[in-house]
Amino acid sequence: MYRKIKGKQTSRKRGRPKKGAVSSSPSTNSGRYPEGYLRLVAFGDRHFPHTLECGDRIILRLIEDLQPHFIVDGGDPICASQLSSFPKTHAELIGLQNELDGDFSWRKSIAKVSPDSQKILLRDNHFTKRLMKRISENPWLEDLRFMSEDSMFSAKELGWQILSRWIWKDLLMFIHGDGQGISSPRLPVNRARAMVKDHGISVVRFHSHCTGFELHRRHDGNLLHAIQLGCLEDPEKASYIDHPQINNWTHSLGVFYLSEKPPYHFFFVPCIISHSRCIFNNTVYK
């Protein structure tokens, strides 16, 4: 499939990195994306089956066009309310397999459009913490292989690595962010800012379903980024939100350009989803 870009026809498949490699090389991609930088796409808090209807389409199209070297899923890919400690009816206790199946289909779609990207899924509170709590309450579950995160998400089969955090070059940390203090939806960058101060590096945080971004200049002139990325969950589908029209949830993802050579640095481009569309690199995704 081809599309017009500045009067020229360009193939949709651009600069796909070689299998197992994360370094870029001159390719047809060099005219559209900066040379000397690795591309990364980050998103999180999809909360299937409460996913924003247009979110999957937008992200898949963007990944297909961008062909990132890295993809970071910030966690909470499914609701997993069946594992929570809240009172539930029988109907609310079942359905976890359906959610895992939906997530499997989503990750297969990502693998299809960008098979060679290095893919990282971050541990979270909705699934990881709830699962660990259930296992701690039932010790006989501990050594069952199918109860592991890797097994439930078919991580190895689909090419995903599950981590608590992912750090690039000791400069940029991606973390789900639960357990890092109480956050306020009205002050979305607060927790990301506090983590920047605690760790002394740039931080990309998820979890709060809000979007915000701050820059802080260090004494040596380097910039520290406090980045809070939004969610891909539709508040209209979340039963625990009393007034979805007035909540401060925002839908966003991030594109990062990581330098290949020292001095290592990066650039961050926020991508906001609004009115069922997102604009990136002169293209409307919807």
Q: What is residue 164's predicted lDDT score, i.e. its pLDDT?
A: 97
Q: 12, 23, 13, 122: which is closest to 69 by C-alpha?
A: 23
Q: What is the per-residue pLDDT for 9?
A: 42
38 assigned to some structural domain? yes
What residues in the chain have per-residue pLDDT under 70? 1-31, 180-183, 185
Q: Which residue's entry shows tokens 């809070």?
A: 228
pLDDT confidence of residue 237 = 92
Q: Residue 263, preceding bond cis, omega within 30 degrees? A: yes
pTM of the complete model? 0.88
CATH of the domain at 278: 3.60.21.10
3-class DSSP state of 181: coil
Residue 2's pLDDT is 38
Type and span of the H or E element at 255: strand 251-259
Within a domain: 65 = yes
Q: How many domains does the chain have?
A: 1
Residue 181 lies in a domain: yes
Largest CA distance in the chain: 63
**Which range of residues forms the domain containing residue 149?**
34-237+248-285
Q: What is the pLDDT of residue 183?
A: 66
pLDDT, tens digit, for every residue of 140-194? 999 999 999 999 999 999 999 999 999 999 999 999 999 766 667 678 899 999 9
Q: Please give the torsion angle defined by the CA atoms of residues 95, 98, 102 and 105, in that order, rounded to the nearest 10 degrees.
A: 160
The answer to the question of residue 110 being in a domain is yes
94 located within any domain? yes
Is 25 inside any structural domain? no
Which phi-psi region, left, alpha or beta, contains residue 25 (left: φ > 0; alpha: ψ -120 to 50)?
beta
**Nearest residue to 152 via CA among 126, 175, 177:** 126
1 in a structural domain = no
